[in-house]
Chain A
Amino acid sequence: MPNLLSRRDFLKVGGVAAGALALGSFLPPWVAEAARESGALDASDSGYIPSMCEMCVWRCGLLAKVVNGRVVKLEGNPDNPHSNGKLCPRGQSGLMNTYDPDRILSPLVRVGKRGEGKFRKASWDEALGMVADNMQSIKTKYGAEAMVFSTTHCLSQPLFENLLNAFGSPNYGTQRSLCFNAMIVSNLMTYGMEEPDRDYSKLKYIILTGRNLMEAISTSETSALSQAIDRGVKVVYLDPRFTKTAAKASEWLAIRPGTDLAFHLALLNVITSEHLYNALFVSNYTDGFDKLMGSISQYTPEWAAGITEIPSDTIRRIAREFAAAGPYAMAHNGWRTSNFVNSFQTERAIAILNALVGNWNVAMFPANGEESGVLGAPPQPAYPRNSAMRLDGVPWKYPFVPLSMGVFQELRDAMLAGTPYKAHGWFIARQNPAMSLPDRGRTLQAFSKMDFIVTMDILMNDSAWFSDVVLPEASYLERYDPLNIVGDKAFIRQPVIEAQGEGKSSMWIYKQLGNLLGLGNYFQYQDEEDYLKQQLAPLGVSLDDVRQKGYVDLPEESTEFSEPTWNTPSGKIEIYSSTLAQGKFPGVPQWEVPPAPQAGQFYLLTGKVAQFTQFGTQNNQYLHKYSDDPRLWINASIAQNLGLVDNDLVEVTSEVGMVHVRLQVTQAIRPDCVYLTPGFGHLSKGLTTAYGIGACDSDLHVSYSDPVSGGQALTQTFVTVKKI
């Protein structure tokens, strides 16, 4: 049979540590004892232990199969609504995250030059002492604000935030401005909540604007979309690439990058001008419809056709179909086909489109988020008052960006420029800004401005490679984390095996640092289990029970029908936002012309593949084994015009950088675009599986922030391609 992923491909991993799983270690007495007591393991230390995946942030439930004290297989946990018994390729490969032969097994202290990769082993006492001393000395000399903290969405994030707030620094970098600031701020302005929940079960019509759910897998949501398609739902999918989601959609529209906004404004135009909206819902539950009517008439399908390159008839038909399917119609508001400085307005237009068909409580629901008042927490004093201005411009330049999100790329640029003041230290926790931030050259320069950098991760990631101290974290199969609330349950992540080497949980690491910095009052728990017991205290449930079951049921909330309300100034869904208008931004979405490539340039697209999560899973040998080579996609007819053939080595150049990469000639992309799988082109030679593979799109990305949400305009980078 003709194989796409042929036997030959398997030579690519060759003999790379083929026996890596043999490195697995035995359960330490305390883990085994606890598991045996809870009934998860029998006398031979075999059985299933429930826990939670961390190969991405979706947090599927898992059952870890343990045999003779070693974890040998992960299964999806049927009890967890995020997994429903399934795991995606990343979840299935989770063993190799823990048993990666490149794991950092002890704290490391740099001995060579930064970036040279020379480290010596150190004890936890020494490494944590160095971190605390450096942090304290920076605070004494320059003020707490000279210490920058950054991390990525994770369950121990509240404790990380405790550390930075107690330490007294306002400078906090998260991944969010590189990902979904536009969506979150738009939802806050429109619905008064970060992200409504979605339900696919009753849908008849879905518009996915670049929401590539078949490759950016969130197990339960991907599964829900697949079931809806199987049922016969109509899916309109917009993307400049023919992705695996495009292949499953009823209709694929290869929209021009940067013009999602024009498409959605035209849908709003048709639905309002032809009176196809849900008038009752609009009058009862929305605010500012009249102001939309006043400005939307100019955005006709004919106008949008010239911009989006989608025929006006198609736009008009989709608008009518969408409205006819309301309230069983949903325009997915997660992510976009491309990210430009107008992405915030795109998200606003999509949010309003949903409101016009009145799909609230049918397709979209109020989200509880991950916070819940029902869990307990250790007591702690109030944070010290903090009056220093933030380096990332929140809120003085970006008034609408929540403090918990920030504008990471602006933070990096301020660290590099030394304005409005200089930063001197950087604490990077389970994050890799050397790969994630646009314009990697600038990130590396920012590293060089720092007196001290510490990184915590399970692997020698590319930022750790440039750090002074590297703290080895225990992997997600080796540690506890705070409980995770999903619906009416709180799920547990618990160790299923001993930590490799000297790996420690972030809950432990933050507490030790807190103690060393004299901030122990903010970490009032003996150990991880004590923290969990304090969380469970109000529920009257024992930790042992939760460990055995994998979750705890939360008290039932009232299910009585109540009139929907939204946490906005008007208490309604805000089609017109007075908040935005006060900030001198358009109160209703308006067209903003995005920059476009010049002759000879291409849009540089990015987007996920099912085997990789951002920048952290490329070193996983199982995922490496079953993924495609990360080559640069280029349209076949364009390649022919340029005299390029498949697998040619090409030089790709943007305003800020240049990379060399192999070419993938394909029909599956617009002629004016090229696409690069993110997460490759690693700098750290400590990643022996991933190092040397592919090219890094962050080398090419130019930093542009959307002025409202601070979102990085990731697609606003134009490149030239030539054969080497």
Chain B
Amino acid sequence: MAAIIQKTFIFDATRCIDCRACMVACSVENNIAMNKTRIWVSGVGVNGEYPNLQRDTMVYHCMHCAAPDCLSACPVGAYTKRDDGPVVYNPKKCIGCRYCMNACPFGVPHFDFDKGIIEGAFIDKCTMCTQRIDIGLEPACVATCPTDALVFGERVDLLKEAHARIQAHPGRYIDHVYGETENGGTSYLILSPIAFTELGLPALGSLPVKNTSEKVMEFTIPVALGWGAVLSATAVGVHMANQKKEAKAKQAVPAEEPAEEKI
């Protein structure tokens, strides 16, 4: 099999100071609403008993798997794995079934409850800042990281770099690069001083979940489409009912009082 050149991140937990510059940068770059995010902090935080303490956190967003479960679970082909790494999502194709959310072992795709079924654009997730990497820039989270806890490059090079760091400081890291094989390999490689599960990462085998899930999915596509139709019908019904209710409420309530509480 020919080697695919894949753009990849390294996240090094020993360098991360939990300052959240990456989170702000992501929000600004991608114009994320104030009550939404595509990037999270996880991990044990402060651990131990005073005064014997340690503190470990991880920043994560989409792992951009080589064989993405979100993609294989999607009944309508809303996900694409680009040859150069990013797993991207097309809202125009999405029917809002949320199978990708259940499929992703990292809990990355998020449903937009504010918009929901009626308004479209259901799922939100990291895009690897394709608008930046396509013109040769690093993703926003990486570009601003003050301590280089995040770096970006070609997967082959970064795997070498990750192993070199472990070799140079054997006592500092767990002797494993998370994402090298997990779930069939990810484009987010993680170095950690503590067990990866303590950073909040799932223990995964090297076979992508996809290998088994796709067999099942072959049967579910017709079902999913049917289910989509049911959902759509329900949504339209609910929407119409709501409109009727609102119309009634507007008539019933005097103008100075809001008819419904703001969501």
With A10-B37, A86-B145 as given contacts, are A667 and B53 in contact (CB-CB < 8 Å)? Answer: yes
Residue numbers in A under 8 Å from B70 (CB-CB): none
Contact partner of B37 (CB less than 8 A), chosen from A7, A621, A637, A668, is A7
B48 — which chain A residues lie within 8 A by C-beta?
Answer: 667
Q: A74-B28, A76-B144, A625-B34 are in contact. Are A91 and B21 (CB under 8 A)?
A: yes
CB-nearest residue of chain B to A230: B15
Instruction: For B59, give the chain A residue with the smallest CB separation.
Output: A5
Q: If A76-B143, A223-B146, A667-B46 touch, does A89 touch B41 (CB 8 Å cutoff)?
A: no
> Are A92 and B21 in touch, CB under 8 angstroms?
yes
Judge whether A666 and B46 touch: CB under 8 Å. yes
The answer to whether B51 touches A226, judged by C-beta atoms less than 8 angstroms apart, is no
Interface residue B160 (Cβ < 8 Å from any Cβ of A): no
* Interface positions of A from 1 to 42, Cβ below 8 Å from B: 1-7, 10-18, 20-21
The answer to whether A214 touches B36 (Cβ under 8 A) is no
Knowing A1-B42, A636-B50, say if A18 contacts B33 (CB, 8 Å).
Answer: yes
Residues of A within 8 A of B201 (CB): 1
Is there an interface contact between B50 and A88, defined as CB atoms closer than 8 Å?
no
Known contacts A1-B201, A254-B51, A626-B23: A16-B146 contact under CB 8 Å: no
B212 interfacial contact with A, CB 8 Å:
no
User: Is B49 in contact with A73, judged by CB distance below 8 angstroms?
Assistant: no
Using known A-B contacts A10-B36, A668-B50, determine if residue A4 contacts B24 with beta carbons closer than 8 Å.
no
Residues from chain B with a CB closer than 8 A to the CB of A15 are: 34-35, 262-263
- B42-69 to A contact mask, C-beta < 8 Å, 1/0: 1101101111011111001000000000
Given the complex of chains A and B, what is the CA–CA distance between A248 and B54 in angstroms?
Answer: 9
Q: Does A263 sit within 8 A of B, measured CB to CB?
A: no
Residues of B close to A671: CB separation below 8 A:
50
Report the bound CA distance from A617 to B42 in whole Å: 25
Closest beta carbon of chain B to A271's beta carbon, Å: 26
- Cβ of A695 under 8 Å from chain B: no
Q: What are the residues of chain B within 8 A of A443 when measuring CB–CB?
A: none
| Cα(A667)–Cα(B51), bound, Å | 8
B17 touches A248 (CB 8 A): yes
Cβ B17 vs Cβ A610 within 8 A: yes
The residue on B at minimum CB distance from A76 is: B144
**B42 interface neighbour in A3, A76, A625, A669, Cβ under 8 Å:** A3
Taken together as a complex, chains A and B put the C-alpha atoms of A217 and B25 apart, in Å, by 16
* Interface check A205, CB cutoff 8 A: no
Q: Among the listed B19, B34, B45, B200, which residue makes an inter-chain contact with A1, where contact means beta carbons less than 8 Å apart?
A: B200
Q: How far is the CA of A516 from the CA of B25 in the complex (A)?
A: 44
B125 within 8 Å of A (CB atoms): no
Provide the bound-state CA to CA distance between A5 and B40, in Å: 6
A610 touches B19 (CB 8 A): yes
Size category of the A interface is 35 or more
Q: Which residues of B contact A245 (CB under 8 A)?
A: 17
* Contact A92/B28 with A1-B60, A244-B55, A252-B53 known, Cβ cut-off 8 Å: yes
Closest residue of B by beta carbon distance from A84: B146
A73 to B57, CA, bound (A): 27
A219 touches B (CB below 8 Å) = yes
Q: Is A707 an interface residue (CB 8 A)?
A: no
How far apart sit A227 and B202, CA to CA, in the bound complex (Å)?
Answer: 30
A646 to B236, CA, bound (A): 44
Asked whether A222 is an interface residue with its Cβ less than 8 Å from the other chain, the reply is yes
Given A226-B146, A242-B46, CB of A88 within 8 Å of CB of B21: yes
Contacting pair A222 B200 (CB below 8 A): no
Query: Which residues on the A side are within 8 Å of B17 (C-beta)?
Result: 214-215, 222, 226, 244-245, 248, 610
Separation of A118 and B240 alpha carbons in the complex (Å): 45
CA distance A657 to B172 in the complex (A): 46
- Cβ-defined contact, A2 with B200, below 8 A: yes
- Kindly state whether residue A611 has any CB partner on chain B within 8 Å: yes
Q: CB of B234 within 8 A of chain A?
A: no
Closest chain A residue to B36 by CB distance?
Answer: A10
Interface residues in A662-721 by Cβ distance below 8 A to B read: 666-671
Give B54's nearest chain A residue, CB to CB: A247
CB of B100, distance to nearest CB on chain A (Å):
16
Say whether B18 faces chain A, with CB atoms less than 8 Å apart: yes
Chain A hits for B29, CB < 8 A: 73
Q: Is A571 an interface residue (CB 8 A)?
A: no
B-side contacts of A610, CB under 8 Å: 17-21
Q: How far is the CA of A366 from the CA of B24 in the complex (A)?
A: 36
Distance in Å from the Cβ of A347 to the closest Cβ of chain B?
26
How far apart are the CA atoms of A613 and B216 in the complex, in Å? 53
User: For residues 478 through 514 of chain A, which have their beta carbon under 8 Å from a beta carbon of chain B?
Assistant: none
Please pick, from B25, B169, B202, the residue contacting A92 in the complex, using a CB distance under 8 A. B25
Interface pair B147/A222, CB less than 8 Å apart: yes
Given A18-B34, A217-B146, A610-B18, 17 more A-B residue pairs with CB atoms under 8 Å apart are A3-B42, A5-B23, A6-B40, A7-B37, A12-B35, A17-B34, A76-B144, A87-B144, A222-B146, A223-B148, A242-B46, A248-B17, A252-B53, A621-B34, A625-B37, A626-B27, A668-B50
Could you jot down 21 A-B contacts, CB within 8 Å?
A1-B60, A3-B41, A5-B40, A7-B110, A13-B35, A15-B34, A15-B35, A18-B33, A21-B31, A89-B19, A92-B24, A92-B28, A93-B28, A227-B148, A247-B53, A252-B51, A622-B28, A625-B34, A626-B24, A627-B20, A667-B48
